[in-house]
Amino acid sequence: MLDTVRQRVACAVLLVLLAGLSVSAQAQDPRYWRLDDIIAQFDAWELAYPDIFHQTTLGTSGQGEPILLACISDNASVREPEPAIFFHAAQHANEVNGTTAVMAQMAALLEGYGSDPAFTARVDGLEIWFAPVRNPDGHRYVFGDNPSADDWRKTLRDNNDNQQVDFPDDGVDSNRNWDWRWLESNEANPSSQKYKGPYPWSEPEVVAARDFIVREKPVIVVDYHSPVTIGWSNYVFYPFQRQNGGQTPDWDVCRDIAQEWASETRTVGGNPFSTIYAYDTLPKEQCWVYGNTGILAYLMEIGDHCWYTGASVDTIGIRVARGGSYLLDRALDGPGISGTVTSAITGLPLIAEVRILEMHDDAIGPRYTDQDNGQFHRPTLGGNFTLEVSLRDHVTQTFPVDVAGSGWTVVDVELSPITTAVADVITDAPWLRIGDTLRGGRSVHLALPSGMSAASVELFDLRGRRLATLGRDLAPDRPHRLTLPNALADGVYLVRAVSRMQQQVARLVYIN
Ligand SMILES: [Zn+2]
């Protein structure tokens, strides 16, 4: 694995053919983390802390470089039902103060574990994810030999297709490449540092981040940046003010978290950070993540420019890292509503929609439970709320929930399928059809609904025992013929189709 990583690193370096003449060089202080130093540090941490540090990758960059990702948690290599939180940095290549902060946060957690009770509780109770360099191609370019590259923020997409990196004509702004109000964005000039790309999701770095966030469903996502010029310096941006002025349904909790976090974070001069809402007008990560998943997505602008020198570099990293501890404690201790949604029939986790009616708006979300364990975590302020849990073909359940000023109020939910007469069992699941061959045969036909991603299909008896996996990775909108197990007794069964974002259960009457 490490050999592969290093070979890819070597390839990527060769691919970065430098072009353009030097204009001016800002000093790149040696305190800033280079990618190879981060790779070596990850390896060292993995050796030193094998139980609580696990390294993997978010995906692969446009030039084939692994996008480093690490989880710090007890049993770090195992996905546990704990609240997750995700810190990432330097999707804009030259905004490297965030990388310094991420590395300082990781060091503090690893070194504090077992000796400092607060850090120990955070590591034990959370799944804490870090991606120190979201844009490794750009990062290498910034630290390469071309002095102009100090100002580079984009990926290294070869816009003009000439097999080399041209400054400033190549590259895509990975924070303008999300499919959010895409057509309204006029950042269509490839040589702009804010070029949105040829189409949404054109950058593999963006797809990798999206897929990770959708899969892990962090309680909070933090995207570290630095302002290129003075303005909006040392700010936390929370989601979001709509262009027409409308506040979102999580507005109060988003702002509260931002204000507490900002007050716990210090600038290089020792002052607290400021807060402001983000606008929802650009194809940015923060807009897409919050708008489409309801996950609380934040952007922090660290410092008032990108490059610092001397001790300030480490000071910034450590002060921002300390502020990040507030977010860890908020994810660990709430307040909010959490719980697990399972099937009353099978006992298995369900991918259900979780609404807090006082904080609901059809334009945001929906919030789904975790595909693997059925868990949800919805941050709130203290107060009285109404929780509504729903899933297609199941009976919707609502609960009054009194949330205290701290702690997760746990509401575990069992959902029952809507029962209908056995006679119409086949028509309540249009995706599942009993083929001609069933009578006297052993096969069923199904066509998963469009919009459902590739799904596995399993067969259960009515007591919830899994009898067989009938198919895996089945594409939607296409007929599939699946074989039932041998010696299946006549009776009523459940057929469950599970994809990444949804599941459907249908009953099957089998009479041989
Ligand atoms: Zn930025």
* pLDDT tens digits along 393-416: 889 999 999 999 999 999 999 999
The closest of 155, 131, 160 to 142, measured between CA atoms, is 155
Task: Determine the 3-state secondary structure of 107 from DSSP.
Answer: helix
Cα dihedral: 102, 107, 108, 111 (round 10): 160
Ligand 1 midpoint to CA 237 (Å) = 12
Ligand 1 midpoint to CA 173 (Å) = 9
The closest of 145, 137, 71 to 109, measured between CA atoms, is 71
Q: Give the chain's length.
A: 512
Spatial contact of 61 and 125, defined as CB atoms under 8 Å apart: no
Ligand 1 midpoint to CA 233 (Å) = 11
Q: What is the mean pLDDT of residues 70-96?
A: 96
pLDDT reading at 340 higher than 90:
yes
Ligand 1 midpoint to CA 92 (Å) = 5
How many Å separate Cα 322 from the centre of its chain?
22
Q: Which pLDDT score is estimated for 7?
A: 40
Token pair for residue 210? Answer: 């999206």
Ligand 1 midpoint to CA 42 (Å) = 24
23 Cβ contact list (under 8 Å, min separation 6): 147, 148
Ligand 1 midpoint to CA 175 (Å) = 8
Asked whether the bond before 168 is cis by omega within 30 degrees of 0, the reply is yes
Helices (H), 72-159: 97-112, 117-125, 136-142
Ligand 1 midpoint to CA 188 (Å) = 18
Q: Above pLDDT 90, what percent of the chain?
A: 69
Ligand 1 midpoint to CA 224 (Å) = 8
Ligand 1 midpoint to CA 510 (Å) = 58
Q: What is the mean pLDDT of residues 206-215?
A: 97
97-112 vs 117-125: helix crossing angle, rounded to 10: 100
Ligand 1 midpoint to CA 239 (Å) = 16
For 41-45, 77-81, 298-302, which range has the lowest pLDDT when averaged over its residues? 77-81
Ligand 1 midpoint to CA 361 (Å) = 29
What does residue 182 show for φ and ψ, rounded to 5 degrees? -55, -50
* pLDDT tens digits along 345-369: 899 999 999 999 999 988 898 999 9
Query: To which H or E segment does residue 460 belong?
Result: strand 455-461
pLDDT reading at 281 higher than 60:
yes
Ligand 1 midpoint to CA 225 (Å) = 4
How many Å separate Cα 192 from the centre of its chain?
27
Token pair for residue 228? Answer: 């290129």
The closest of 386, 300, 293 to 97, measured between CA atoms, is 300
Res. 2 pLDDT band, cuts 50 70 90:
very low
Ligand 1 midpoint to CA 33 (Å) = 17
Q: Is the Cα torsion angle 320, 281, 368, 371 positive or negative in sign? A: negative
The closest of 122, 14, 27 to 63, measured between CA atoms, is 14
The pLDDT mean for the chain works out to 88
Ligand 1 midpoint to CA 101 (Å) = 15
Ligand 1 midpoint to CA 88 (Å) = 12
The CA distances from residue 503 to 349, 477, 496, 510, in Å, are 10, 15, 7, 22
Q: Which pLDDT score is estimated for 6?
A: 38
Q: Are strands 455-461 and 466-474 parallel, antiparallel or unpaired?
A: antiparallel
Res. 427 pLDDT band, cuts 50 70 90:
very low
Task: Determine the 3-state secondary structure of 251 from DSSP.
Answer: helix
Token pair for residue 146? Answer: 């071309």
Spatial contact of 99 and 89, defined as CB atoms under 8 Å apart: yes
End-to-end alpha carbon distance in the chain:
51
Ligand 1 midpoint to CA 227 (Å) = 6
Ligand 1 midpoint to CA 2 (Å) = 30
Ligand 1 midpoint to CA 7 (Å) = 29
Q: Which domains does the chain have, with CATH numbers?
A: 2-19+52-333 (3.40.630.10), 336-415 (2.60.40.1120), 422-510 (2.60.40.3080)
pLDDT reading at 19 higher than 60:
no
Q: Are strands 296-301 and 235-241 parallel, antiparallel or unpaired?
A: antiparallel
Ligand 1 midpoint to CA 104 (Å) = 19
For 17-31, 150-164, 222-236, 314-328, which range has the lowest pLDDT when averaged over its residues? 17-31
Ligand 1 midpoint to CA 194 (Å) = 10
